[in-house]
């Protein structure tokens, strides 16, 4: 019976049980933060802070590995990759908006920017902090923690490491998509596209063994989508926006009230982002 739970070779719990325990701690933390009365931006920012402790506990006490193996390691190139991830996502999101404009499927207003109300710039800053918190906890859990542990659980002699990595990316990305199914105006298309986004975010993590690029991409994909261009982000509209974009084209392309991820625009943007990633990784990480 012990062999089902514990690996004598690794001298630790098997990957399934490690994932189960850390996920249970995360879900308990989410429930506790909600019960403490945190809502909205505050809830997510507190969750990101708590996630640091969860990662430390997972690495030191459960997985028995350095936290750097989750892709959290600061080196001389970390800031460069993080900034690059932000730039790549901003370009991809900009490409989506340009396509909307070219097709005549969006009306853009600069009214908020031209006549900023009280707290406008503070609101943009708080939104940036909020989006940073979202990208941190989601990337560290879905990419850093899950991919590492699922990969180890799927690594058998007959399958090999490559198939284990592919399986880990697919499973973690599907879970990533499903967690957004409860968002306002979510559809099966948005769930599928967000799952694909998980795979796109995972690609540079697998290549670089670092979360720097995925963190940057996740942050700027959401921030430029919502706070800069004024499009809905996973079903939610930000209060403070540099532009206010009202989509008028078919929802099958624009994604309607959910945002680009619920339409062909989101998939197209992800393909642009993946292409830009490939160019960056080829230039800086090819042997």
Condensed to tens digits (0 to 9), the pLDDT of residues 196-206 reads 999 999 999 99
First to last CA, the chain: 46
For residue 264, is pLDDT > 90? yes
Q: Is 42 within a domain?
A: no
Name the band, by pLDDT with cuts 50, 70 and 90, for residue 13.
confident
For residue 10, is pLDDT > 90? no
Name the band, by pLDDT with cuts 50, 70 and 90, for residue 161.
confident
Percent of the chain with pLDDT over 90: 84
Percent of the chain with pLDDT over 70: 97
Q: Is 69 within a domain?
A: no
pLDDT of 117 reads 84
Q: Is 24 within a domain?
A: no
**Span of 7-16, 140-149, 157-166 with lowest mean pLDDT:** 7-16
Name the band, by pLDDT with cuts 50, 70 and 90, for residue 3.
low
Return the exposure string of 152-164: e unless at least 16 CB atoms fall within 10 Å of the residue's CB, then b.
bbbbeeeeeeeeb
For residue 1, is pLDDT > 70? no
In the predicted model, what is the mean pLDDT of residues 148-172? 89
Q: Is 103 within a domain?
A: yes
Say how many domains are in the chain. Answer: 1
Condensed to tens digits (0 to 9), the pLDDT of residues 117-151 reads 888 999 999 999 999 999 999 999 999 999 999 99
DSSP per-residue string spanning 228-273: IS---BTTB--S--SSEEEE-S-HHHH-GGG-GGGSHHHHHHHHHH
Condensed to tens digits (0 to 9), the pLDDT of residues 215-263 reads 999 999 999 999 999 999 999 999 999 999 899 999 999 999 999 999 9
Range of the domain at 142: 79-285
Condensed to tens digits (0 to 9), the pLDDT of residues 39-82 reads 999 999 999 999 999 999 999 999 999 999 999 988 889 999 99
pLDDT of 165 reads 95
Name the band, by pLDDT with cuts 50, 70 and 90, for residue 24.
very high
Q: Which residues contact 265 (CB under 8 A, 6 or more apart)?
A: 96, 99, 100, 253, 254, 255
Q: Is 138 within a domain?
A: yes
Q: Is 32 within a domain?
A: no
Question: Going along the chain, which residue ranges are E strands?
Answer: 6-7, 12-13, 106-109, 244-247
């Amino acid at each position: 019976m012990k062999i089902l739970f514990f690996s004598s070779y690794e001298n630790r719990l098997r990957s399934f049980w490690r994932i189960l325990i850390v996920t249970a701690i995360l879900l308990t933390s989410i429930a506790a933060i909600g019960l403490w009365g945190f809502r909205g931006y505050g809830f997510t920012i507190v969750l990101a802070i708590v996630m640091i402790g969860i990662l430390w506990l997972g690495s030191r006490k459960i997985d028995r590995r350095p936290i750097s193996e989750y892709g959290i390691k600061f080196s001389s190139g970390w800031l460069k990759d993080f900034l690059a991830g932000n730039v790549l996502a901003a370009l991809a999101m900009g490409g989506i908006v340009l396509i909307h404009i070219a097709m005549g499927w969006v009306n853009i207003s600069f009214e908020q920017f031209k006549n900023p109300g009280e707290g406008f710039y503070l609101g943009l800053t708080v939104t940036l902090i909020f989006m940073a918190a979202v990208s941190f906890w989601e990337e560290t859990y879905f990419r850093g923690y899950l991919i590492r542990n699922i990969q180890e659980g799927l690594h058998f002699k007959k399958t090999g490491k490559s198939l284990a990595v592919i399986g880990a990316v697919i499973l973690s990305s599907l879970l990533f998509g499903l967690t957004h199914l409860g968002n306002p105006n979510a559809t099966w298309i948005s769930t599928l596209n967000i799952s694909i986004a998980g795979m796109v975010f995972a690609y540079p993590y697998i290549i670089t063994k670092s979360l720097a690029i995925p963190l940057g991409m996740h942050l700027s994909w959401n921030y430029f989508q919502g706070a800069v261009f004024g499009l809905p982000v996973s079903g939610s509209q930000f209060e403070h926006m540099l532009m206010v974009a009202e989509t008028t084209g078919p929802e099958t392309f624009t994604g309607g009230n959910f945002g680009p991820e619920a339409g062909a625009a989101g998939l197209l943007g992800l393909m642009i982002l993946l292409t830009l990633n490939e160019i960056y990784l080829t230039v800086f990480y090819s042997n």
